[in-house]
Amino acid sequence: MFNYILQGTFTGLIFSLVALGYTLVYGVLRLINFAHSEVLMTGGFAGYFYLHYAMSNQTVVQSVWLSLFFIVTGVIVSGIAGTLVAIAIERFAYRPLRRRNAPKLAYLISAIGASYFLLNLFGKEFGRYPEATTQPFSNHVVVTLWGGQFTMFDFVILVAALLLMVILDFIVSRTKMGRSIRAVAMDAETASLMGVNVNRTIASTFALGGFMGGAAGFFVAINQGISYDMGFKPALLAFTAAVLGGIGNVRGAMIGGVVLGIVMFAPIYWLQQPWMEEVIAFSVLVLILLFRPTGLLGERLGRSA
């Protein structure tokens, strides 16, 4: 039982990272970024290629410092790849529509189009079969606690995800960029009158979410390997997490991911049917929407219809 909760927590941390991308963009644009799954996928591919080429001459990393180096640089490389893709998505699928003040349906459809374009471009260029990633560290069990097993991977993701979230929270709440993001989220028109460059702020919002998504892609790539459609399921679940925590709410997304992970995995202990995970997750989504559409922490900036 405890094992399932642990598994849920650590998977949930990945959801949290991805959910941040959804929630940031939602806060600023009031739109679900359907192309966010491809940010994760790109991050995963970048991480795969980075590890593939950087570690080409060693199968097992001997030194702790070296594997730490590979993890840190890998997260950065994946994050930057995710950032670039997120900015490209904003530039090509969102900005032309925003300039024209298009209806919401148009944004959703163009984001879906961008997502499918990227997905299949990667499938075409790099093949449509999954591939395992070179492991930057040996994934052995470190501690066994109440029947639950902490593996090395769990520790890595715990530390990395918490660190990334603390940094993001700092950026959003303390820096100038964060202040302009919050200003645009509150009221774009007034913010632009106050001298905030709205276009640049939106791009930086996508970039921030993209970095988190790309980093999450790195961990998904290490854990499950890569394939061109690797982004779809985590992103869908991450969206659920964002709604669970209260979409538009940055801290809500962080908590929502972990809660969703636990809620998703714990019942498997009794059901013993791993494929039920998703069914549970979406039932949770429908239930939240029914009973508490503003999520656990409430929509900080949103409005309920």
Residue 297 binds another protein, judged by CB under 8 A? no
Question: Three-class SS string for the chain?
Answer: CHHHHHHHHHHHHHHHHHHHHHHHHHHHHCCCCCCHHHHHHHHHHHHHHHHHHHCCCCCCCCCHHHHHHHHHHHHHHHHHHHHHHHHHHHHHHHHHHHHHCCCHHHHHHHHHHHHHHHHHHHHHHHCCCCECCCCCCCCCEEEEECCEEEEHHHHHHHHHHHHHHHHHHHHHHHCHHHHHHHHHHHCHHHHHHCCCCHHHHHHHHHHHHHHHHHHHHHHHHHHHCECCCCCHHHHHHHHHHHHHHCCCCHHHHHHHHHHHHHHHHCCHHHHCCCCHHHHHHHHHHHHHHHHCCCCCCCCCCCCCC
Verify binding: residue 150, another protein, rule CB under 8 A: no
Rule CB under 8 A: say whether 296 interacts with another protein. no
Nearer to another protein by Cβ, of 131 and 166: the residue is 131
CB of 97 to another protein, least distance (A): 6
Tell me: does residue 59 bind another protein (CB under 8 A).
no
Per CB under 8 A, does 114 bind another protein? yes
Least separation in angstroms between CB 129 and another protein = 7
Residue 272 touches another protein, criterion: CB under 8 A: no
193 sits near another protein (criterion: CB under 8 A): no
Options 162-170, 194-202, 238-246, 262-270: segment touching another protein (CB under 8 A): 238-246
Residues at the site binding another protein, with contacts judged by CB under 8 A: 29-32, 34, 48-49, 52, 92-93, 96-97, 100-110, 112-121, 123-129, 131, 187, 226, 232-233, 236, 239-240, 243, 273, 275, 278-279, 281-282, 285-286, 289-290, 293, 301, 303-305
